[in-house]
Structure 1
């Protein structure tokens, strides 16, 4: 992917919607190429569970945001919509503060089904979470 296209894509994703969970969580898309998408999310009290560590649901929200947006970048959204149908998330390490980085890549990129894996790491490269996500690619006419 050429540099201008990367910048344009990141700008589009980061400004897509101001009223979304991604914005609420502070998710920022930072890198994109032909087969992957990367974003960061700050970790602090606003995304903690009661014991003061990163809430698993916040990790899943980052993972699903990345998996969904990766699919969006690979379909003609004037005709099709990626719809998440399955997510499996493993929380592997706790995190209290700082930044986590998620990177989504395809396991399978078909015409009607995308399966991606998302790895979320901390600043030292430790794996915090591993998620797999399935998106069905359906025509707009099937959305109710």
Structure 2
């Protein structure tokens, strides 16, 4: 996807796939910084992403984090030759959230030729850290 504008990349990401888990959870890509190689998205916290105690389900946080981590890798590789797939995720749920919107930002910790490691921070509207995730993607030949 390199070489495209920020707007084109965000439009592509938000329309990618017809019926996906990211769409079910209403994940929306909101920003990409091509120079610093970061990607940001939001997800509403509402009953469909709650666990039985009425707070954000850790699995929903993992879906948001993995969606960003995988997308980040696939944006910054030559998609005509390679694709990135998640192979490991480690997620720490640090604070509960009942409603509102969470914002996640992914950035590379390491960007190699065959492996990417990223970190994803999920924050609430006040900027409080809700979740910290690290993710590994293998970069595979098409």
Which band: TM-score by shorter chain?
over 0.9
Partner of 2:25: 25
Q: Distance in 2 between matches of 1:130 and 1:121?
A: 9
Q: Does 1:40 align with 2:21?
A: no
1:121 aligns to 2:123 (yes or no): yes
1:70-103 alpha-carbon deviations (Å, 9 max, x no partner): 0010111221110111100000000000000000
What is the 5 A alignment of 1:1-144?
5-34=5-34, 35-140=37-142
What is the CA RMSD across the aligned residues, in angstroms?
0.9
Aligned-pair CA distance for 1:18: 2.3
Matched length: 137
In 1: Cα distance, 2:105 partner to 2:125 partner: 13
Unaligned runs of at least 5 residues, structure 2:
none
Secondary structure of the residue that 1:7 maps to in structure 2? helix
Normalising by structure 2, we get a TM-score of 0.94
Q: Hey, what's the Cα distance between the residues in 2 that align with 1:6 and 1:59? A: 25
Deviations 1:88-120 (A, max 9, x none): 000000000000000000000111110000000
Separation in 1, partners of 2:68, 2:112 = 18
Aligned-partner Cα distance in 1 for 2:18–2:125 = 27
CA distance in 2, matches of 1:133, 1:31: 20
In the alignment, the residues of structure 2 paired with residue 22 and residue 139 of structure 1 have an alpha-carbon distance, to the nearest angstrom, of: 25
Give 1:33 deviation, angstroms.
1.1
4+ residue segments displaced more than 3 Å: none
TM-score normalised by structure 1 residue count:
0.93
